[in-house]
Structure 1
Amino acid sequence: MPISRIAIGSPAEASQPDALKAALAEFISMLIFVFAGEGSGMAFSKLTNNASNTPAGLIAAAIAHAFALFVAVSVGANISGGHVNPAVTFGAFIGGHISLLRSILYWIAQLLGAVVACLLLKFSTGGLETAAFSLSSGVSVWNALVFEIVMTFGLVYTVYATAVDPKKGEIGIIAPIAIGFIVGANILAGGAFDGASMNPAVSFGPAVVSWTWTGHWVYWLGPFIGAAIAAIVYEVVFINQSHEQLPTTEY
């Protein structure tokens, strides 16, 4: 069971140069991702006189997030593993691929990256608000919770299949593409209902800058549950436990 391999880590780990470099890489990757993804929505809204909640706006958001995540994962892959998502980090922790203390370091960097990206967007657009994630009319928090669980399950399952699995072989080189594609596809599926976050940091940044917290817990609980389920399923069913544990920087 992956739960038996969960590691807390040592306090000294947080001050190790490689851990600090990895955290910085996560900060930069998250800043790139949120700035491009959130910024594309703000740009589309400006160009269409605040008509971003349209089919064209949804498609634009899906494409922008898919491309931005592809780049963000690629540039961080060789340093931090290119998690770019607290839920992905949590899934890696559940599978025993990263310690708790290193995970916390990643989470702090990811949240700061998202907040800084939204602050930069607000400043560079002359004070336009970064829209916080919210539920559409007729969608309850429980509907949204299920959406977030299922979509994040698909995302983290893809991460495990293309980047974490020690048997992946050459397929690992397409991991950033596959991860970007599944996020773009999930936005097309769930964007009209709850915004399709799948990423607590992506929800946290706009919420802090706009100070809007309605239903915000959904965008934490759903992704973490989905990530945990994906990690446990893939570890138990598909990863041969006799394989040597992967170093953090290899996924």
Structure 2
Amino acid sequence: MPIDQIAMGSHEEFRSPGALKAALAEFISTLIFVFAGQGSGMAYNKLTADGAASPAGLISASIAHAFGLFVAVSVGANISGGHVNPAVTFGAFVGGNITMFRGILYIVAQLLGSTAACGLLEFATGGLSTGSFALGADVSVWNALVFEIVMTFGLVYTVYATAVDPKKGELGTIAPIAIGFIVGANILAGGCFTGASMNPAVSFGPSLVSWTWTHQWVYWAGPLIGGGLAGVIYEFVFINRSHEQLASGDF
């Protein structure tokens, strides 16, 4: 892997107005996404009196997350690139499409946005639990890790193909909906096994607010490995340094 393509950036980015605005956009986009996605699960629990998971609940979660991510990516795309996910930011970093310091700003903003969304949900629902991500029955941590790696690989690969690749052309206009669709599809595939996080921020916020940390490492390791692999493979196999470096504000 060409290490020289990875950009570290400068700590001055922590004070750069452009980087701070982009981080704020990530905070707001992640808040929007988590509020809709996590809120749909809380609404299902309220309607069913904390009943057992069902196919209808899985489909509802898939639709809510697909729609919510479509909007969250769309509203942040022109400001920060609409990452809404530390795994996407990490995948962009290893591919040389964002500096380390800007990436840190993004990830902190994403974690804060998710936490704020869950805090608002708990308050707005009168104290209902946000819950936390958990493994399904008879699912080992290694099963779950593979699920999260593969699902996040698909997500970040889609981000690269539709939003990062300079040859994307008009395909870029459907990037937000393609990204939302792959998340929705992955929830249908993995929701009953791992909860289908694909996003460390999405699992961090509910766990912090409910203070439940069981198997939390799976929801960090899996997405970061999957996102990193997708970034490396797409950037260095399919793009292969055949384009001008993206401006930091483009993605």
C-alpha separation in 2, matches of 1:193 and 1:177: 25
Aligned residue in 2 for 1:51: 51
Show structure 2 runs of 5+ residues with no match. none
Aligned residue in 1 for 2:242: 242
1:95-127 deviation per Cα after TM superposition (whole angstroms, max 9, x unaligned): 001111111100110000000000000000000
Count of aligned pairs = 251
SS in 1 for 2:44: helix
C-alpha separation in 2, matches of 1:117 and 1:200: 14
Tell me if structure 1 keeps the 8 A contact 2:95–2:236. Answer: no
C-alpha separation in 1, matches of 2:223 and 2:108: 17
1:159-180 deviation per Cα after TM superposition (whole angstroms, max 9, x unaligned): 0000000100110010000000
Tell me if structure 2 keeps the 8 A contact 1:22–1:79. Answer: yes
Tell me if structure 1 keeps the 8 A contact 2:155–2:182. Answer: yes
Tell me if structure 2 keeps the 8 A contact 1:151–1:226. Answer: yes
Aligned residue in 2 for 1:136: 136
Show structure 1 runs of 5+ residues with no match. none
C-alpha separation in 2, matches of 1:179 and 1:220: 20
1:176 to 1:52, Cα distance in 2 relative to 1, 3 A: farther
C-alpha separation in 1, matches of 2:2 and 2:29: 27
RMSD: 0.9
SS in 1 for 2:113: helix
Aligned residue in 1 for 2:174: 174
Give the C-alpha shift of residue 9 in structure 1.
Answer: 1.1
SS in 2 for 1:120: helix
C-alpha separation in 1, matches of 2:198 and 2:143: 14
SS in 2 for 1:65: helix
Kindly report structure 1 stretches of 4+ aligned residues shifted beyond 4 Å. Answer: none
C-alpha separation in 2, matches of 1:61 and 1:39: 9
Normalising to structure 1: TM-score of the pair?
Answer: 0.98
1:222-251 deviation per Cα after TM superposition (whole angstroms, max 9, x unaligned): 000001110111112210413101113223
Aligned residue in 1 for 2:114: 114
Letter in 2 for 1:202: V
Aligned residue in 1 for 2:21: 21
SS in 1 for 2:144: helix
Tell me if structure 2 keeps the 8 A contact 1:73–1:84. Answer: yes
Give the C-alpha shift of residue 14 in structure 1.
Answer: 1.1
1:25 to 1:56, Cα distance in 2 relative to 1, 3 A: same
Q: How does 1:207-226 map to 2 (within 5 A)?
A: 207-226=207-226
C-alpha separation in 1, matches of 2:152 and 2:2: 19
Letter in 1 for 2:243: H
Tell me if structure 2 keeps the 8 A contact 1:2–1:232. Answer: no
1:120 to 1:2, Cα distance in 2 relative to 1, 3 A: farther
Give the C-alpha shift of residue 2 in structure 1.
Answer: 4.8
1:122-152 deviation per Cα after TM superposition (whole angstroms, max 9, x unaligned): 0000000101000011000000000000000
Tell me if structure 2 keeps the 8 A contact 1:44–1:52. Answer: no
Normalising to structure 2: TM-score of the pair?
Answer: 0.98
C-alpha separation in 1, matches of 2:245 and 2:52: 45
Aligned residue in 1 for 2:38: 38
C-alpha separation in 1, matches of 2:52 and 2:37: 13
C-alpha separation in 1, matches of 2:38 and 2:135: 17
C-alpha separation in 1, matches of 2:52 and 2:75: 29
Q: Name which of structure 1's ranges 176-185 and 7-16 shifts more when overlaid on structure 2.
A: 7-16
Letter in 1 for 2:14: A
Aligned residue in 1 for 2:231: 231
Tell me if structure 1 keeps the 8 A contact 2:7–2:99. Answer: yes
SS in 2 for 1:132: coil
